[in-house]
Amino acid sequence: MMNQIKINGIRLNKNYLQVTQEEFDRHYTSGMLLYQALQSKSINLVFMALNTLGDRSFISGAIASRHLKNVLNQDGNWACKRDICTLSIYPHHYRFRLLGGLLSLLGQQKISFWHMVSSKAMLTFVVDQQNCDAFIELLSSNFDLPKSHVPFEQEENDELTKFLKKKYPETRATYVEEKIKTYGITLETDLTLNAYRFSFDQLAGFGRELQSIDDSENSEDKFFHTCAHLISPENIRLFLLTGKSPGFTEGQTCPAELLSFHGPHFGDRHSIISRALNCLSKKSIPVLQAACTGSSIGIILAQGKGEAAKQALTDVFENP
């Protein structure tokens, strides 16, 4: 049962804009991409998802509402949606049981979301603010949370932000050091990227299937990354990066590698994901998917591209 799964908390961020660039140049050879344009305007991406697979390529990000005017004045094929929020649960420990239980609940209750992405510690959802209360109720009712827990809601505090940026230059949104510090750049190879298209009813069934997988300590019984996005009011595209096939429903598959890193202050500065992807573009290394949530970045590459990508990042990022 879901109430047997313990998590440490729920993190909530309200009043964001979702900005999406559809059908961008997949070879990164022409035009300014969403993350590059936001970098040029010193606008911080608190969440970003990039996809080049299937019949829909897109870059979608969440930014502070105060940047609405800048976004509306932007030339190009950007779509903007107001009043969205991000909701995260932590930790997930890359367990099929937790992910499956959550997907099953979302499918059963048909609670819609725009994006889902896993990071090192969190499963993060982008949802309409009007669905926020229902989402929190689903999480609070079906997970074992600490008794004292209430959703931790981060709010912008202009006075505190000004104080921190004055006292600690590394928190300034316009400050980027020559070499960006990380806690380590890791590369996972010999992985399989599984792609699915589900209705909400099918999503519930797939979630139950994931729950049935033995919750052991073996890495083969864990996922390495997951992301999903809404493709119509009734259909969801879901990707699951795994090691050896754990025996659940097969979708479209391709061999892949995962490059990921985690670092200080990533969630409080613009351009981290942009600089990472620009490094790969300069070396003509194609990206299948990428995600940025808080202080974690994950980049999915075709098999055999990981080592070159890791080396390319060392021009800009420190790997202790």
d(CA 177, CA 4): 44
Q: Specify the range with the lowest mean pLDDT, choosing from 55-69, 154-168, 209-223.
A: 154-168
pLDDT: which is higher, 320 or 20: 20
Of all residues in the chain, the percent with pLDDT exceeding 70 is 81
pLDDT in tens, 221-240: 789 999 999 998 889 999 99
- Other beta carbons within 10 angstroms of residue 42's beta carbon come to 16
Residue 26: predicted pLDDT? 59
d(CA 205, CA 46): 32
273: helix, strand or coil: helix
How many CA atoms lie less than 13 Å away from 30 in the CB half-sphere? 3
Closest by CA to 303, choosing from 254, 250, 252, is 254
Residue 159: predicted pLDDT? 54
Residue 27: predicted pLDDT? 60
pLDDT in tens, 137-167: 888 888 888 877 665 555 554 554 455 456 5
**pLDDT over threshold 50, residue 191:** yes
Of all residues in the chain, the percent with pLDDT exceeding 90 is 44
44: helix, strand or coil: coil
d(CA 195, CA 153): 32
Cβ-proximal residues to 154 (8 Å cutoff; 6+ apart), any chain? 11, 12, 13
Q: Specify the range with the lowest mean pLDDT, choosing from 201-205, 293-297, 304-308.
A: 293-297
